[in-house]
């Protein structure tokens, strides 16, 4: 199975540069024959996306980094900052290293990095497990963060925590087209099973809320938030 489509899609989840809009057009054209509905989603994104690169970058930052709608780190979306995510980061680091897949300044579980890893993986069973048990469920959870109720909950939480809510100049919901496009490709390539989802009850909002509560000192003084460095090693409680 040729998997170059994931390399093409990966750039759309990276921080935008001046070629971002052009690349969306190229990907839509490249995938039109095999994945026509993907091209429809990408063209829908292109219609809504600002023309100016700075505006696109600002939209990306607000969507995924500062007062974010969701995270692009699949381990965080599935596990939050617990030790299981540390294992995920460590294992993904090993896979990236084995095939020479550079992660740049992002963690090994960043969606762009994982999509670039997929066509390079040699172990087909491991590839199938990564796609069906981690990437697809994570993308599903990312899409759920765009529901009106979830967006409102996060806005309320951010306003309470930071006192000021960042109001974007463009609708944040447009990136939902991008996640839908990726999910369509995953479903087509890996025949995803929709039942018995192991991550059905987890959410970026839930993990975020727990972290902010820790920061506010609402949890026990013996409790602390675990984070991870780029090697997947846990660093917690000031360590």
- Helix (H), strand (E), coil (C) string for 67-80: CCCCCCEHHHHHHC
Cβ atoms 178, 41 nearer than 8 A: yes
Distances in Å between the Cα of 49 and the Cα atoms of 69, 145, 173, 174 are: 17, 19, 10, 7
Mean pLDDT of 99-120: 97
Facing residues of 234 across strands?
A: 228
Question: What is the reported pTM?
Answer: 0.84
Confidence at residue 220, expressed as pLDDT on a 0 to 100 scale? 46
DSSP code for 228: E
pLDDT at 1 over 90: no
State pLDDT tens for residues 148-185.
999 999 999 999 988 889 998 899 999 999 999 999 99
């Amino acid at each position: 199975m040729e998997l170059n489509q994931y390399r093409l899609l990966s750039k759309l989840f990276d921080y935008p540069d001046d070629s971002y809009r052009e690349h969306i057009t190229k990907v839509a054209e490249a995938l039109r024959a095999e994945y026509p509905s993907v091209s429809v989603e990408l063209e829908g994104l292109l219609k809504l996306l600002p023309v100016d690169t700075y505006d696109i970058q600002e939209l990306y930052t607000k969507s995924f980094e500062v007062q974010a709608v969701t995270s692009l780190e699949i381990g965080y979306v599935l596990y939050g900052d617990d030790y299981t995510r540390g294992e995920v980061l460590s294992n993904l680091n090993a896979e990236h290293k084995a095939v020479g897949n550079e992660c740049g300044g992002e963690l090994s579980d960043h969606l762009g990095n994982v999509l670039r890893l997929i066509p390079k993986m040699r172990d087909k069973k491991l590839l199938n497990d990564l796609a069906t048990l981690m990437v697809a469920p994570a993308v599903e959870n990312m899409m759920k963060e765009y529901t009106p109720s979830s967006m409102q909950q996060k806005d309320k939480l951010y306003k309470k925590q930071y006192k000021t809510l960042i109001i974007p100049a463009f609708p944040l919901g447009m990136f939902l087209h991008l996640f839908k496009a990726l999910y369509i490709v995953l479903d087509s390539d890996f025949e995803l099973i929709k039942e018995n989802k192991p991550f059905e009850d987890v959410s970026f909002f839930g993990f975020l809320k727990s972290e902010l509560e820790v920061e506010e000192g609402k949890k026990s003084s013996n409790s602390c938030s675990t984070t991870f460095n780029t090697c997947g090693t846990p660093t917690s409680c000031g360590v």
